[in-house]
Amino acid sequence: MIYLFLAVLCSSSIALIFKFSESNNLNRYVVTSANYFTASGVALFLLLKQGIKFFDFNQSDFSSSFIQVIFKGEGLFSSQSSQQWATIIGLVAGIFFFTSFIYYQKSVRENGASLAGTFGKLGILIPMLFAIIIWQEYPEDLQWIGILLAITSIILVNFPFKRDWRQALRLNLIFLFLYGGIAEFSNKIFQKYALVDYKVLFLFWVFFSAFLISSFYSFKKVGRLPKKSELLTGFAVGIPNLFSSFFLISALSYLKTAVVFPIFSAGSIVLITAAGYLFFGEKLERKEWASILMTVVALILINI
């Protein structure tokens, strides 16, 4: 149970560190770059410790395995092909991880840590949708109810009860939901076809790719040397960013999936909301409280 508690703590701390970052007007591109530099550095250390090779590639073996595994659905990639799959998917996934982190920070600034954390967790709907379309993995009855509740919560937050719809629409939250969901789906794509032993290799390429992209934007948009506070904040985010996944995987080794995911998702939202209220004085409208409550219930139902 300690692993699950640590996963919730790491996941929640990301949103709260972003709240500190945005409250102090730190440059989000520099913070993001430092975050991914730290995460990829820790992943590299774990890779070297495990003795996993980076470029043990065989093109012909991968090509034949690709047709067999992806199109025919026959088993998983071999050890060598799993390395290639981890590299390819990881490099592409880095784009969506970077984008979702930028919108995470924007959402924290404009909508508060509570709503940003809530919509970040709602991204689980995207992998579910693709799983239905690609693999015909249809949800159970309770999960359908959870999906409908989740969609309703998104509409509730963006519905213009007394304002013009263009002012009420919170695009940053919607983009966070979409890009975060696609980033989550990349995890599913890797785990569906590759050996789980190469999870750290996959995470390294995800974070390294995101680091390269964020570094490019940092040099292009900032036009100055990074501040010490920006680097330290990014380093502080990078560690829980990596270990939230690490502890979650560890928790799944000891507890049932039906226990882990509801507690992880709902627990993170509750902790972020409570900390946002206590430490940052965030005040939410009634419809926003209702949306958070609906999301917590929805995530529990979806993950049962």
Q: Judge contact between 32 and 234, C-beta under 8 A.
A: yes
Percent of the chain with pLDDT over 70: 90
Give the model's confidence band at 9: pLDDT under 50 very low, under 70 low, under 90 confident, else very high: very high
Question: What CA–CA distances, in Å, run from 286 to 16, 270, 271, 292?
Answer: 22, 16, 19, 10
Region for 27 from its dihedrals, namely left if φ exceeds 0, alpha if ψ lies in -120 to 50, beta otherwise: beta
**pLDDT for the residue numbered 265:** 76
- CA 161: distance to chain centroid? 31
Give the model's confidence band at 98: pLDDT under 50 very low, under 70 low, under 90 confident, else very high: very high
Give the model's confidence band at 55: pLDDT under 50 very low, under 70 low, under 90 confident, else very high: low
**Cα–Cα–Cα angle for 68, 73, 76, nearest 5°?**
75
Average pLDDT, the chain: 83
What's the rounded mean pLDDT across residues 249-273?
74
**Dihedral angle of Cα 8, 238, 212, 80, to the nearest 10 degrees:** -60
**pLDDT for the residue numbered 100:** 93
Question: DSSP per residue over 205-258, as a string?
Answer: HHHHHHHHHHHHHHHHHT-SPPPHHHHHHHHHHHHHHHHHHHHHHHHHHHS-HH
DSSP 120: H
Region for 25 from its dihedrals, namely left if φ exceeds 0, alpha if ψ lies in -120 to 50, beta otherwise: left
**pLDDT for the residue numbered 162:** 55
* Domain layout of the chain by residue ranges: 1-303
What's the rounded mean pLDDT across residues 57-73?
74
Question: DSSP per residue over 257-286, as a string?
Answer: HHHHHHHHHHHHHHHHHHHHHHHH-----H
User: Tens digits of per-residue pLDDT, 229-255?
Assistant: 999 999 999 999 888 877 877 786 677
